[in-house]
Structure 1
């Protein structure tokens, strides 16, 4: 696993870290692992889901630094602030508690709990709340910045900064992973657990099926961004975290944008530990994401539609054609790639791809990539950094706008070649699935294949 680059980390902490990062340097007890959890409107039972992982390392003499950032904005409902206050009171009672803050700083406490250390940050009390529009992203960043400062000061020996959420059950082997030297981050496998509310469970399962369908589609296309971006399933290499200037301070989607940046520094490695269990639930606290999607799908569950599989075939032709950039002149860069793509597409699909590429300004980008260097490997790296996970999504949307409209989720999975167990499978597996959760499990098994 990559060693901590003190220069990169120090520069980040000095220039880009949140003020609360100083709390990390005030910790004195040594820890072996770090886990950051943002919490808003949660019950104190949130710790029950992480105990299996904490206890597993505790019994072998290792301690985990668990950083919980309780947060809300002024715009949140009164009940949210009240529930957050109750959570703060409950967590500070877990063990002997010491304040880490001075009079003019964000309230923050250290508690020596049984088997782990707890740092509790209060961004819920009046005068300490998060700015409007900076929700879970800022809360994660505060926690991770504290973690990074503890690593820099030497109080923690952790190799990774783990992030999760309050709706998870972490497996006992959560911390027992090996990370290749080339990695910038780790993502954990996951599955969703029904909550008992049929409408919520069915909506949640359909959204999970879409998430897996999308990743399988990107893999089919040969995209280097074919990985899940779920905030509760991420761990970052500390130096890489500093190198991308931390978690984006967004109200939602911070996990997607963080991994999108990290993927340009190194590999996004999938852990081989047991999957994380995520409890199905709906939520309106963020404008998009799993909880919001579950809520929206449940309102009209039979109308749920996802991207047409043909979009990923066109994406595949484009990604494969990028190889033509290797020896193209800058003025001919886009033309060379476009001509390579035309070898595998019919006129209608080629026209669709052309329209979509113009929408994301691909001609200019490829010309700049070719002018950037004459070396093929440098050009390809530049092109893939530009055509990242975000622009891939923009191209998917642009292709949809050319007439490849969304279709019913079951039909999309049935018709897609990349959701079949074998080339001879005609999609009958979906028909045999007992429910949407069974479809998710089947797609998860496909993800496991090399």
Structure 2
């Protein structure tokens, strides 16, 4: 198409666009690389499709293996802004347990968040994201970040029409060591391998953290049911006041500022609920969990999660039992 963009016709139905950013004069800025790469690819595809834009825009990575049913998404009663597909990590030699632990951790946290009532209970992984094209455009595409672009993109989309987790199709992703980015699969595997070599056990966020998070969402729901704005805020704050850890953490995250904004701008119960989820988004949820881990409930052992194993979905419980059995 030009000296740096190539179009390959694979068959009557499929095209492959190759964009050269490997040449020395065309390297992407380090601080924007991963996010910018995804954005360039997606934006070019949307521009090329013109009026024939498909329903979904799929994202993947070079180390992902796509299943034969990759494009067979289920139908939805209420159309989400994005879906995250099923994922499993295929371990490199010598990393079988670390990959299994990391895979379990991702699903464990997502399940606990979802069970608490959080709308941000999904796995944010760039290689398994499928996005509604119109909503992709509404959030102005992939953030230009060197890491975490998938997390921030889904965080925006969750505030539109939500993010739906689906178990199938399942994408296989390489479980490999890497220090290319400051966090993610590679770094987590490095940490797990180091802890294993030191004789330490990898810890998981305490179920007590997610229990308090559930109390937060239950308190919000009960307050909303009152139906009158002059009663909602006092009821919500009153319920939170019964849990010192929870209220102190929310204040650390800026809850007082949110309350001031809600008092000035919110007029209906539905607006209050929406405003809360806009404020207490995926990023603040992550900070909430991190704060609880540092100040209240330290990481717990794999074995201790047996106490909540009956609350796990069948697939997660299967992963858990495999880890315990092959310890």
Same fold (TM over 0.5): yes
Q: CA deviation at 1:320?
A: 1.3
Change (3 A) 1:293 1:112: same
Matching of residue 338 in structure 1 with residue 237 in structure 2: yes
Do the aligned partners of 2:219 and 2:236 also contact (CA within 8 Å) in 1?
A: yes
Matching of residue 406 in structure 1 with residue 299 in structure 2: yes
- CA distance in structure 1 between the aligned counterparts of 2:160 and 2:135, rounded to whole angstroms: 7
- CA distance in structure 2 between the aligned counterparts of 1:266 and 1:149, rounded to whole angstroms: 23
Q: Partner of 1:366: helix, strand, or coil?
A: helix
1:131 — aligned with what? 29
Change (3 A) 1:372 1:172: same
Q: CA deviation at 1:366?
A: 2.8
Change (3 A) 1:262 1:385: same
Map 1:287-298; keep pairs closer than 5 Å.
287-298=182-193
Q: Partner of 1:283: helix, strand, or coil?
A: coil
Given candidates 190, 194, 199, the residue that maps to 2:91 is 194
Change (3 A) 1:210 1:271: closer
Bigger Cα displacement from structure 2, 246-255 vs 358-367: 358-367
- CA distance in structure 2 between the aligned counterparts of 1:224 and 1:407, rounded to whole angstroms: 25
- CA distance in structure 2 between the aligned counterparts of 1:270 and 1:317, rounded to whole angstroms: 23
Given candidates 120, 123, 127, the residue that maps to 1:228 is 123
What TM-score, normalized to structure 2?
0.88
Do the aligned partners of 2:229 and 2:269 also contact (CA within 8 Å) in 1?
A: no
Given candidates 187, 209, 213, the residue that maps to 2:108 is 213
1:435 — aligned with what? 326
Given candidates 280, 298, 305, the residue that maps to 1:387 is 280
Rg larger in structure: 1
Q: CA deviation at 1:220?
A: 2.1
Q: CA deviation at 1:167?
A: 1.6
Do the aligned partners of 2:110 and 2:121 also contact (CA within 8 Å) in 1?
A: yes
Do the aligned partners of 2:53 and 2:133 also contact (CA within 8 Å) in 1?
A: no
Change (3 A) 1:320 1:126: same
- CA distance in structure 1 between the aligned counterparts of 2:212 and 2:144, rounded to whole angstroms: 33
Q: How many residues align?
A: 316
2:308 — aligned with what? 416
2:63 — aligned with what? 167
Deviation per CA, 1:15-73: give whole Å up to 9, x if none.
xxxxxxxxxxxxxxxxxxxxxxxxxxxxxxxxxxxxxxxxxxxxxxxxxxxxxxxxxxx
Deviation per CA, 1:246-288: give whole Å up to 9, x if none.
1111111111111110011113233464311223212221111
What TM-score, normalized to structure 1?
0.65
Question: Hey, which bits of structure 1, 4+ residues long, moved more than 6 A?
Answer: none
Q: CA deviation at 1:397?
A: 1.6
Map 1:296-375; keep pairs closer than 5 Å.
296-301=191-196, 302-323=200-221, 324=223, 327-329=228-230, 333=233, 335-341=234-240, 350-375=243-268
Change (3 A) 1:418 1:143: farther
Deviation per CA, 1:146-201: give whole Å up to 9, x if none.
111123x23x5422110001122211111122443532112111222233x12x22
Larger relative contact order (Cα-Cα within 8 Å, sequence gap ≥ 6):
2
Q: CA deviation at 1:231?
A: 0.8
Given candidates 149, 163, 168, the residue that maps to 2:47 is 149
Unaligned runs of 5+ in 1: 1-99, 423-428, 437-450
- The alignment yields a C-alpha RMSD, in angstroms, of 2.6
